[in-house]
Amino acid sequence: MNLLGMVFSMCGLMLKLKWCAWIAVYCSFISFANSRSSEDTKQMMSSFMLSISAVVMSYLQNPQPMSPPW
């Protein structure tokens, strides 16, 4: 889920797709919820911050509400 979140974050940043950025946040939350205490927190936090930055950047560039992907 962590890798999937990073992929969606990059798609949200590069392609400016808001729904990709929101899916990245969702994947990051799932990854955080399923993590163990022994796992690397640095990688998880970087994935979470990347997904948050994808959402922020996509709304800074286009502040209109998200349109449905279909």
Please tell me the distance from the alpha carbon of residue 12 to that of residue 24, in angstroms, as a whole number.
8
Q: Are 52 and 25 in contact (CB under 8 A)?
A: yes
pLDDT at 51: 93
- The count of domains in the chain is 1
Q: What are the pLDDT digits (tens) for 9-67?
A: 999 999 988 999 999 999 999 988 888 877 778 888 888 999 999 999 999 988 888 77
Residue-range definition of the domain harbouring residue 16: 3-61
Which amino acid is located at 65 in the chain? P
| In a domain? residue 43 | yes
| In a domain? residue 42 | yes
Q: What is the rounded (10 degree) CA torsion for 70, 54, 49, 4? A: 40
| In a domain? residue 68 | no
| In a domain? residue 66 | no
**pLDDT level of residue 7 (50, 70, 90 thresholds):** very high
| In a domain? residue 34 | yes
| In a domain? residue 39 | yes
| In a domain? residue 27 | yes
